[in-house]
Amino acid sequence: MTPITKLFNIQYPIIQGGMIWCSGRRLAAAVSNAGGLGLIGSGSMTPDILREHIKKCKNATDKPFGVNIPLLFPHAEEFINIIIEEGVKIVFTSAGNPGKYTSYLKDKGLIVVHVIANVKFAKKAEEAGVDAIVAEGFEAGGHNGREETTTLVLVPLIKQSVTIPVIAAGGIGSGRGMLAAMSLGADGVQIGSRFVCSEESSAHPDFKRKILEAKDGDTMLSLKKLVSVRLLKNKFFFEVEKKEHEGASAEELSEILGRGRARKGMFEGDLDEGELEIGQVSSIINEIKTAKEIVEEIMSEYHFAKNEVSGLNF
- In the complex, the residues that contact a copy of itself under the rule CB under 8 A are 1-2, 5, 11-13, 118-119, 137-139, 146-154, 156-157, 160, 170-172, 174, 176-177, 179-185, 215-217, 220-221, 225, 245-248, 280-281, 283-284, 305-306, 309-310, 312-314
**Residue 97's closest CA among 134, 73, 123, 125?**
125
Q: What is the DSSP string of 102-171?
A: HHHHHHTT-EEEEEESSHHHHHHHHHHT-SEEEEE-TTSSEE--TT---HHHHHHHHHTT-SS-EEEESS
Smallest distance from the beta carbon of 266 to a copy of itself, in angstroms?
21
**Residue 120's closest CA among 150, 98, 93, 90?**
98
Smallest distance from the beta carbon of 221 to a copy of itself, in angstroms?
8
Q: How many CA atoms, within 13 angstroms, populate the side-chain half-sphere of residue 44? A: 24
Please say which residue, 77 or 148, places its beta carbon nearer to a copy of itself: 148
Smallest distance from the beta carbon of 108 to a copy of itself, in angstroms?
29
Please say which residue, 126 or 270, places its beta carbon nearer to a copy of itself: 126
Please say which residue, 34 or 182, places its beta carbon nearer to a copy of itself: 182
Please say which residue, 85 or 239, places its beta carbon nearer to a copy of itself: 239
Smallest distance from the beta carbon of 19 to a copy of itself, in angstroms?
18
Smallest distance from the beta carbon of 117 to a copy of itself, in angstroms?
9
Is residue 147 a contact partner of residue 117, using CB atoms and an 8 Å limit?
yes
Dihedral in degrees, nearest 10, Cα atoms 216, 219, 224, 228: -110
Please say which residue, 97 or 150, places its beta carbon nearer to a copy of itself: 150
d(CA 71, CA 73): 5
